[in-house]
Amino acid sequence: MNKPLRRIAIFCGLLVLALLVRTNWIQYVQADSLQTDEKNQRIRIERYSEPRGNIIVDGDPITGSKKTDDPYLTYKRTYKDGPMWAPVTGFASQIYGATQIEQLEDKILTGNDDRLFFRNTMDMVTGKKKQGGNVVTTLNAAAQKAAFKGLGDNKGAVAALDPSTGAILALASAPSYDPAKIAGQSKADATEWKKLLDDPDKASVNRALRETYPPGSTFKVVTAAAAMEHGLYDDPDGKTDSPLPYTLPNTSQDLPNEGNLPCKDASLRVALQYSCNTVFGKIGADLGRDKMLETAGKFGFNKPVDTPVRAYPSVFPKKMDKPQTALSSIGQFETAATPLQMAMVASAVANNGTLMEPYMVQQLQAPNLDTIEKHEPKKMSEPLSEENAQKLQSMMETVVNKGTGTSARIPGVTVGGKTGTAQHGVDNSEKPYAWFVSYAKTDEGSPVAVAVVVEDSKAARQDISGGGLAAPIAKSVMQAVLDKK
């Protein structure tokens, strides 16, 4: 072979080698990512070529599928009471992808889950069309309706849990959006999508899981737990060493209370009843950063929670000096929490100190309703002992019986709670957030714990309070759960 031919042969050989390497790279390295890439048209076609399975609440589907005129995207998603359930379902759009349960359980809903392989193979042999499975949730329709209706035109969110299992009973967020309006590929869908993206009120944000707020005085429940767990005080009715006024450590700045309250040396019960900043600020400073961090961490702060939709981590600051620790311990400084997190705090107290892992998918079903996977409740942590949890319960019940949370009373039912009115903005210039965390208790135990935050109401600034705005919503959610029992 002469020299020119040899060079051409080597060059061609290199091209063939490069082609082989590239082909194998795509087939064996990039195959999975290409198959699951949202830009892959085959995924969209496969997702909407058949009716999707449904998301189920209380035995009834809250989703559906509707035939379209498109030869490839043959079905589009429909939703029942879309705005009310959007924080749970998310959306499944022929153009804009999918979110939340629609995304996380897409393989079950489309019938593409590996666990449906045998069934799909049999259907192919018999000529039966492939069907999607169902996602059965833990949600309580009455509680969800009460939460969404209670929020009304206000911005805010509600999270409700079953303390004994961690099952999520309600997950409402307002304002909301209708996922049905962006499910298709029409101009109207595109207009609605743009409105959603440009919405200054962030209707597409799941505020119950994905928005953190300063928790204000509701965090004092955590500080009270820390005081007892670390042995600073063990008697809810014993006097604390709490001066009035209380000056933040290493500063000349007094920590004020909201009015002329009986907070000097107040017991933990009285301090929680009147929401004494001075008592709980001093407790935080006395305990110190590490002990407060330890207790907050056991309640779930500083770590994400998968429900399976991931909730943003709530924050108890890791870097702070003594006065900042005092402020953090009354829910100020950089302390921030999701409504789900504060429902977890109330839930752990109501469940005698045991925090169960929150979840909202009870089981996954095959198209013939056979169970493919069933969730078993899991213990997440034990933030406080049973004895201390019961002491804290008695204190939270005092808050509802004769403190700042009386608007959450339910006749014939034991209710514990804690209000919060969280200042925020530059020099606290914004309208405060109104909080309420609570639980209801019967002879059989506690079936529900609730956290409510009203982010922005139409009420005048001086009329905004956790007891006035958030507690009535929590009461209606608890009542809805109790009525179903």
Tens of pLDDT, residue by residue over 190-208, are 999 999 999 999 999 999 9
Non-local CB neighbours of 395 within 8 Å, separated by 6+ positions: 224, 236, 268, 269, 272, 273, 416
Among candidates 302, 291, 384, which has minimal Cα distance to 338? 302
- pLDDT value for 129: 78
Q: Domain for residue 110, yes or no?
A: no
Work out how many domains the chain is built from and give that number.
1
Residues 283 and 227: beta-carbon distance below 8 Å: yes
User: In the structure encoding, which two tokens stand for residue 225, read together?
Assistant: 């737990």
Amino acid type, 312: Y
Which residues share a beta bridge with 136?
A: 56, 363
Given a contact cutoff of 8 angstroms between Cβ atoms, the answer to whether 175 and 201 are in contact is yes
Residue 95 domain flag: no
What is d(CA 86, CA 432) in angstroms, rounded to the nearest whole number? 26
Within 255-329, residue ranges assigned H as helices are 268-274, 277-287, 289-298, 322-328
What is the per-residue burial (b if ≥16 Cβ within 10 Å, else e) of 71-109?
A: eebebbbbbbebbbbbbbbbbbbbebbbbbbbebbbbbb
DSSP-assigned beta bridge partners for residue 57 = 60
What burial class does residue 264 get, using C-beta atoms within 10 Å of its C-beta: 0-12 exposed, 13-18 middle, 19+ buried?
middle
Q: Are 350 and 163 spatial neighbours (Cβ–Cβ below 8 Å)? A: yes
Residue 126, pLDDT score: 78
Ranges of residues in the chain with a pLDDT under 50 are none
Within a domain: residue 278?
yes
Domain residue limits at 384 = 209-361+378-483
Please report whether residue 118 resides in a domain.
Answer: no
* Cα–Cα distance for residue pair 215/289, rounded to 1 Å: 18
Count CB atoms within 10 A of the CB of residue 302.
14
In single-letter form, the type of residue at position 453 comes to V
217 part of the active site: yes
CA distance 479 to 473: 10
Residue 329 included in any domain: yes
* 60-61 and 55-57 beta bridge pairing: antiparallel
**pLDDT value at position 463?**
65
Instruction: Tell me whether residue 216 is in a domain.
Output: yes
* 445 belongs to a structural domain: yes
> CATH number for the domain including 307?
3.40.710.10
**List 65, 217, 242, 438, catalytic entry:** 217
Here the tokens at position 236 are 């809810």
Tokens of 187: 């101009």
For residue 347, is it within any domain? yes
Q: For residues 350 and 449, is the Cβ–Cβ distance under 8 A? A: yes
